[in-house]
Structure 1
């Protein structure tokens, strides 16, 4: 049996949980519809710096921020649409939007919540399109499904590329194995890969993989005897790894496009007027014992 209910913390928060609360997530609509917490058998799957969730002036460090209408960054924070320059900050603005809950459900097998974010006067200055972004989160015994449906509510073609920025909790990086299905990568910070392994032993490491050979990445936490599998659809052509030394997390990020995608023309989805685009990723946690 699964349940879905709302509670009032600093922000209204929705909880999707199994009856014994061995598996649950928390969703904060007001903070970019973020999944702020994901627990499995009393183990944290997501990392969260609570103070960044509570401070509206900060980007949240933790959970699973939604990257829309772009993932990564643009050179000089600038792109062009029909010869007009627009400015977008790194990872877009969805993580700063206020969402609305439009549906919840729960039964013996799963719990689900559907949320909506829409354009406003501020977004139109930076991204001249009317849109709806519908997020549906479904939790069941097999893990967490994250589905995004983007509706172009405008009368012109709308370019975008979606991504996610999940922060996975890991206290013992020395006992962590990461499996990304590609041997082709670019270091965004030098020495991010050392002896074919992601380098946790410098202040910051950041690498982007392309030419993915499959749709699944794995994080194996040998200390906690825990495996997390991230599965995405083919439209997510890139996987990014990012970590900071001294912080108990690693980010494994599915992106549709590379750095500066809007300007280099790779991975961009061109959504026709009054059309929609749906894609899904899944995150599954399981015990190795």
Structure 2
């Protein structure tokens, strides 16, 4: 951790003699006292509800009256996302390598957390093949995922 930023660097190497399909996802949890005080800047115009598989436009807010929110923003348009928590006077910024093309938002009603998760592919990608990463034999890929907290 340096200056309010947790930097996560990863290196994936294919040690086999055949191409390696894979995907990566991180699942950080963030403490929140009042979810209705969250403001989002997520680089996507729509999301897919993971429970119903329906796609909805994203208007930078969620209905926190639901029992669970589990949505995926697929095909994000930049490598930054922010959440402003007005009740705690802080801003969380995620920045990530361009290999991370999906952001997942998850929370449960009555719980004091939310998750904003960078993934390289949508859920179940190893079975569907959707947006998998591939490494040739002997090749490596390095990725970065950073979390920065600014107190306002």
Q: Does the TM-score normalized on the shorter chain lie above 0.5?
A: yes
Select which of 118, 121, 134 maps to 1:254: 118
CA, structure 1 residues 270+175, in 2 after alignment: closer, same or farther (shift >3 Å)?
same
Alpha-carbon separation, structure 1, partners of 2:70 and 2:103? 11
Alpha-carbon separation, structure 1, partners of 2:132 and 2:49? 22
Alpha-carbon separation, structure 1, partners of 2:120 and 2:135? 14
Gaps of 5+ in 2: none
Match of 2:68 in 1: 204
Instruction: For residue 192 of structure 1, report the CA deviation from its aligned partner.
Output: 10
User: Is 2:32 the partner of 1:175?
Assistant: no
Alpha-carbon separation, structure 1, partners of 2:39 and 2:30? 13
Instruction: For residue 150 of structure 1, report the CA deviation from its aligned partner.
Output: 1.1
Alpha-carbon separation, structure 2, partners of 1:194 and 1:213? 15
Deviations 1:207-245 (A, max 9, x none): 111232211111111011000000111110011101001
By relative contact order (CA 8 Å, sep 6+), the higher-ranking structure is: 2
Match of 2:101 in 1: 237
Alpha-carbon separation, structure 1, partners of 2:105 and 2:62? 8
Write out aligned runs for 1:113-128 (5 A): none
Match of 2:143 in 1: 279
* Partner SS, residue 51 of structure 2: coil
Alpha-carbon separation, structure 1, partners of 2:129 and 2:58? 32
Write out aligned runs for 1:31-70 (5 A): none
Deviations 1:123-166 (A, max 9, x none): xxxxxxxxxxxxxxxx2115111111112222222111111111
Deviations 1:266-288 (A, max 9, x none): 22111122221110011100011
What's the RMSD between the two structures over aligned residues?
2.1
Select which of 8, 11, 17 maps to 1:155: 17
Alpha-carbon separation, structure 2, partners of 1:223 and 1:192? 30
Alpha-carbon separation, structure 1, partners of 2:62 and 2:73? 12
* Partner SS, residue 126 of structure 2: helix
Alpha-carbon separation, structure 2, partners of 1:149 and 1:228? 25
Instruction: For residue 264 of structure 1, report the CA deviation from its aligned partner.
Output: 2.6
Alpha-carbon separation, structure 1, partners of 2:87 and 2:150? 14
Alpha-carbon separation, structure 2, partners of 1:250 and 1:192? 21
Gaps of 5+ in 1: 1-138
Match of 1:264 in 2: 128
Give the TM-score, by structure 2 length.
0.89
Query: Where in structure 1 do 4 or more consecutive aligned residues deviate above 4 Å?
Result: 190-195
* Partner SS, residue 131 of structure 2: coil
Q: Which one has the largest radius of gyration? A: 1
CA, structure 1 residues 186+195, in 2 after alignment: closer, same or farther (shift >3 Å)?
closer
